[in-house]
Structure 1
Amino acid sequence: MASWQKTLQESSAPPVASGDSAPVRRRRKAARPSELVAAALGLFVERGFAATRLDDVAARAGVSKGTLYLYFDSKEALFKSVVEESLVPALAAAEQWLAQYEGSATDSVRELLVGWWVLLGETPLAGMPKLIIAEAGNFPELAKFYHERVIVRGRALMRTVLERGIARGEFRPLDIEIAIDVIFSPILMLLIWRHSMVGMCGYDYAPATYLETHMNLLINGLCADSRTGTAGASAAEGRA
């Protein structure tokens, strides 16, 4: 498990109950917002944002629609809570971890990507990228919210890692903004594939093998190596 995931688990662990337990009804009421958010996430991923009805969210969470409105005044508010409760804490934990990280840039790339896959790829959150891509045109405000709260911060994390690696001489100089897209794209492809094409094509990728292949190609491409530089220069001269 990535170190920043441990930080996330520790920060989000439920408080230890005291000797006198709260009444079941009180505990149930306190848990309702999280239950509604979990129900909304499942339905958003299964049906899409537009096709998900608040009645269905309430039914899946086991409450009335009136109860749902006590906590969320709209479907948009529910979506934002899914992002704020599920993704933003993980990004905050990763930022905290990276601010204190003293290891190699290579290891930090691996830990960020593998940790991000564990968070998304092995949970219902795996369907979020497909959801955003599919619904962005019809709900631009939600797409903008997701971009600002998730994508911008995720890119900033990887930008910091790449800048450190280049500054230390671990990574060769490159266009960092393009590199960020190239690094994240294979993982997004795997998430979208598994939520779109697997059932129709009849085959899937083993995530561990896929990620290891991506890591091998990525690290070998990033690492500073005089032989790589020479080969790249020779190839460029040949094309010229």
Structure 2
Amino acid sequence: MTKNDPAQASGRRADILERATEAFVSHGYAGTSMADLARAIGIQKASLYHHFRSKESLFVACVTEGYDGAVRRLEAIRSDDAISDPARIRAAMEEIYRINLTTPVGRMAPLIAEIAATIPEVAQAFHSGFIARHYATVTGMIEDGIARGSFAHVDPLGMQHLIFGPVITLALSREMTASFPDRDALYPVDRIRETHIGLILRLLTGKGSADGS
């Protein structure tokens, strides 16, 4: 690979974003300086400014590019003709839980809410780059299922919020209680996820089992 190899540059950028995301999640936006970020990433501060002109632009990149993979995975689930519509919703919801509850980038939501009022560009980028695409993909899955007769004639918009709302609430609750020794007992992710998915599938299919059968 040469110094200007695009693949090498792309990999380096992804590494910077991953390490910066972990630093933001650990120390908050206000509590993390460019010097802190450079140390966490393992480069000189001047080199970090070569990649990103400011802490704000780096944070926006973490939000938009960090979430892009999750959106593309949902889009791939929607286009997978090998699975049924109920199985597609289950796979999508499992991915939504995974990204929001088990990855550093998924834990960025509280930080985004924290700084949205003072840096509206962050909220705008997060909405257009992730929320709008994420919601549209899941709404499309519901509309596909209705058109194919797999799902009842529900309101896709209302169902969209029934899918995403509990996940976001759970993620925020777990972040607020991160220091509690009994957090997992208070907010057991596996149990809540399975109950949530089962309820959504029953609403969509009008059938009694959690897989819609």
Which TM-score band applies after superposition, normalised by the shorter structure? 0.7 to 0.9
Offset of 1:30 from its aligned partner?
Answer: 7.3
Displacement, 1:127?
Answer: 1.1
- Matched with 1:59 is 39
Q: Which of the pair has more CA radius of gyration?
A: 1
Separation in 2, partners of 1:62, 1:157:
37
Could you tell me which of 124, 139, 142 is aligned with 1:162?
142
Following the alignment from structure 1 to structure 2, what is the Cα–Cα distance between the partners of residues 207 and 101? 29
* CA RMSD, Structure 1 to Structure 2 (Å): 2.5
* Equivalent-residue separation in structure 1 for 2:190 and 2:2 (angstroms): 43
| CA contact 1:39–1:61 (8 Å) conserved in 2 | yes
Cα deviation for residue 39 of structure 1 reads 2.5
Q: Does the 8 Å contact 1:170/1:224 carry over to 2? A: no
Aligned match of 1:139 in 119, 124, 128?
119
2:104 is aligned, of 111, 118, 124, to: 124
The 8 Å contact of residues 58 and 64 in structure 1, kept in 2 or not, is answered as yes
Q: Give the Cα separation in 1 of the matches to 2:10 and 2:131.
A: 30
Given the alignment of the two structures, is residue 94 of structure 1 paired with residue 74 of structure 2, yes or no? yes
- 1:217 maps to 2:202: no
Q: 1:104 aligns with which of 61, 76, 84?
A: 84
| Structure 1, unpaired ranges of 5+ | 1-20, 226-240
- How many residue pairs align between the two structures? 202
Matched-pair contact (CA < 8 Å) for 1:120–1:126? yes
Q: Distance in 2 between matches of 1:80 and 1:103?
A: 35
- Deviations along 1:190-239, one digit per CA (max 9) or x if unpaired, are 211111124248332232211111111111122136xxxxxxxxxxxxxx
TM-score of the aligned structures, taking structure 2 as reference length: 0.83
- Aligned twin of 2:131: 151
Shift of 1:162: 0.8
SS at match of 2:31: coil
